[in-house]
Amino acid sequence: MLIRYVKSHSGSILDANGYDGYGKCVEVPALLRNGEYKYDRYGGVINAFECRSCQKVKLVGFTEYSFDDGKHWIKVDNNHYLIGVRRLGEFYVVLFNGKPRALPYQPKEDKRYYNNVHFIHSGRL
């Protein structure tokens, strides 16, 4: 299985073991609750039955995946994340019945402060 990952308009095609075309490991982001990203090494794919006790994460930045060595690509929609796990300091994409599962999310936007002023007390507007 191949999976396409894009970071800052430069993409990589990663294999099922977590390596790109040059044999190097890539760091991928997981979405935190506050909307920030936590980067860690990508370990590849893992079956859902092997990772029941692992910490679940939301992996973002993946755009497409292929089961037949890149002949046919299945697109992951925008603002969707892949279900993954964190195991031994690496992120893995979880396969459910042989396929990754993508779910939608609403990206959090940064707070905008006008005229470089923000209030100390939350009661004031």
* Burial category of 122 from C-beta neighbours within 10 Å (exposed 0-12, middle 13-18, buried 19 and up): exposed
Please give the angle made by the CA atoms of 76, 80 and 82, to the nearest 5 degrees.
75
- pLDDT single digits (tens) 85-124: 999 999 999 999 999 999 999 877 766 666 666 667 665 5
What pLDDT is recorded for position 47? Answer: 94
| Predicted local confidence at residue 100, as pLDDT | 94
Using pLDDT thresholds of 50, 70 and 90, give the confidence band for residue 34: confident
pLDDT of 91: 95
Quick: pLDDT tens for 59-71.
999 999 999 988 9
Give pLDDT tens digits for 9-24: 778 899 989 898 888 9
